[in-house]
Amino acid sequence: MATGVAGGMLAEGVRHLAKGQMPTMSGILLTPSNAERITKELARLRGAAMKVGQLMSMDAGDLIPPALSEMMARLRSDANAMPMSQLVTVLDKAWGNNWSDKFERFTFTPAAAASIGQVHRARTREGIDLAIKVQYPGVRESIDSDVDNVVTLLRISGLLPSSIEIDSLIAEAKMQLHAEADYQSEQNWLTRYSDILGNQSDFILPVPHAELTNSKVLAMTWVEGVPIESLALAPQQLRDRVAAKLFELALKELFDFQVIQSDPNFANYRFNHDEQKIVLLDFGATRAMPDSMVEGYRKLMRAGLDKDQIKMREAATDIGYFGAEMSPQQIDAVMDLFEMACEPLCHQGAYDFAGSNLPKRMHDVGMTLALDRNYWHSPPVDALFLHRKLAGMYLLAARLKAGVDVRAIANRYLSEDEYL
């Protein structure tokens, strides 16, 4: 794989030289044939590539050059479905050979792609509609080498600058993929999250179907819904309500539940028009937040709300944002980023996410920081998950062109008398 791309780049470089031009790394890289080659290789390593991409985009700003984000976006939509015979083999192994007796109907064409598998719709003899997530065979066994291969590919193609040190990110990607490849554990999180959420009128979650679930096949009730982004065309009032509910849920996850569904990919949220409820899916990346983090963020957000810069800096230090090697300028840059992130919190009344351009502005500052060769201090991984979650909510609110009174919602979770 690596030599294929490197060979392609070499040939391209020679072509440039022949024309009397000095080849540049990025010039070589972005030729259509190389982009094609890289995309193909990444598709083969789809699950690992999506995870590495996900982790890179949640760190200080977006480290991924636009060419790579495009490839990643394509990966998400272009999954190769398992051939029917392979699917049947996986299901025979999970459920025994006579499994079709259990179903009134089983749709072999996948209803949706998952990152390391595919989702089928089926109806049991009892008439229960199920979503069945089936993992690609062999995925679990090759996680470590797949991640290594993705990183090698990104490095050798110049898509990932060699100055960037991502050992901890690589280790994290492997760890997470191993966790997410255990569908039994995902089912346990789904059960636990539903319990914590309790009887909630605003959300619908799938109900796990334990007897048909194991580490490679996850069965749960099928939940009707349309993509959450499709609400962009709904009345303003509905968009505002949905965004507000999701912000509130994110803060509840952090401050009340201390359990965060850390993958705010839009595809994990849908909307059920009949019941007027938000559908929550995908609990594979759910994690518990340690007390110290929760307290750190309570202090940080409280200080942000009060515009108290000294307390904010203290809280950020407690959480672990600043490495000993960081210069005062870099610390200031991080603090600027926090202040920007707190903008909706400090705003009186509904904050207009679409008009604010906030995700773009944060991206730009984060990018400048990330491109500073001397700055490479990764905050604790729990902090990264929280960034990802909150950034996901900002992006979703912006996409829905929603106005949300974030300050009023946050006040409920940060009020002095309740917590001090």
Ligand X SMILES: Nc1ncnc2c1ncn2[C@@H]1O[C@H](COP(=O)(O)OP(=O)(O)O)[C@@H](O)[C@H]1O
List active site positions. 263
Choose among 359, 354, 365: nearest CA to 390: 359
> Which residue sits closest to ligand X, CB atoms considered?
114
- Min dist CB 327 to Mg ion, Å, is 39
Contact status: 268 vs Mg ion (CB under 5 A): yes
Beta bridge partners of 106: 122
Residue 172 engages Mg ion in binding (rule: CB under 5 A)? no
Question: Is 389 an interacting residue with respect to ligand X (CB under 6 A)?
Answer: no
Applying CB under 6 A, among 61, 284, 304, 379 the residue interacting with ligand X is 284
Q: Does 280 contact ligand X by CB under 6 A?
A: no
Q: In terms of C-beta density within 10 A (0-12 exposed, 13-18 middle, 19 or more buried), how is residue 98 classed?
A: exposed
Query: Least Å distance between CB 268 and Mg ion?
Result: 5
Is residue 223 at the binding interface for ligand X, with CB under 6 A as the rule? yes
Any contact of residue 114 with ligand X (CB under 6 A)?
A: yes
Rg of the chain (C-alpha set) = 23
The DSSP symbol for 255 reads I
Does 120 help bind ligand X (rule: CB under 6 A)?
A: no
Part of the chain binding ligand X (CB under 6 A), chosen from 18-26, 52-60, 136-144, 218-226: 218-226
Q: How far is the CB of 179 from Mg ion (least distance, A)?
A: 14
**204 binds, options ligand X, Mg ion, none, Cβ within 5 to 8 A by partner type:** none
- Does residue 281 interact with ligand X by CB under 6 A? yes
Cα–Cα–Cα angle for 155, 158, 163, rounded to 5 degrees: 70
267 binds ligand X, rule: CB under 6 A = yes
Which does residue 110 touch among Mg ion, ligand X, none (CB within 5 to 8 A, set by kind)? none
Counting residues that bind ligand X (by CB under 6 A) gives 15
Q: Are 296 and 258 in contact (CB under 8 A)?
A: no
Residue among 203, 208, 235 nearest 221 (CA): 208
Chain centre to alpha carbon of residue 171: 17
How far apart, in whole angstroms, are the C-alpha atoms of residue 395 and residue 247? 11
Q: Does 112 help bind ligand X (rule: CB under 6 A)?
A: yes
Q: Tell the burial category of 176 from Cβ atoms under 10 Å away from its Cβ (0-12, 13-18, 19+).
A: buried
Of 59-67, 77-85, 261-269, 370-378, the window that binds Mg ion (rule: CB under 5 A) is: 261-269
Binding residue for ligand X, selected from 12, 29, 42, 115, defined by CB under 6 A: 115
Q: Which residues, including other chains, have CB under 8 Å from residue 368's CB and lie 6 or more apart?
A: 61, 333
Is 282 a residue that touches Mg ion (CB under 5 A)?
yes
Contact criterion met (CB below 8 Å) for 55 and 39 = no
- Amino acid residing at 96: G
Backbone angles phi, psi at 299, to 5 degrees: -65, -45
Residue 248 engages Mg ion in binding (rule: CB under 5 A): no
Neighbours of 39 (CB within 10 A): 17
Sole binder of ligand X in the list 46, 51, 120, 133 (CB under 6 A): 133
> Contact between 261 and ligand X (CB under 6 A)?
no
Residues lying near ligand X in the complex (CB under 6 A):
112, 114-115, 119, 131, 133, 206, 220, 222-223, 267-268, 281-282, 284
Residues lying near Mg ion in the complex (CB under 5 A):
268, 282
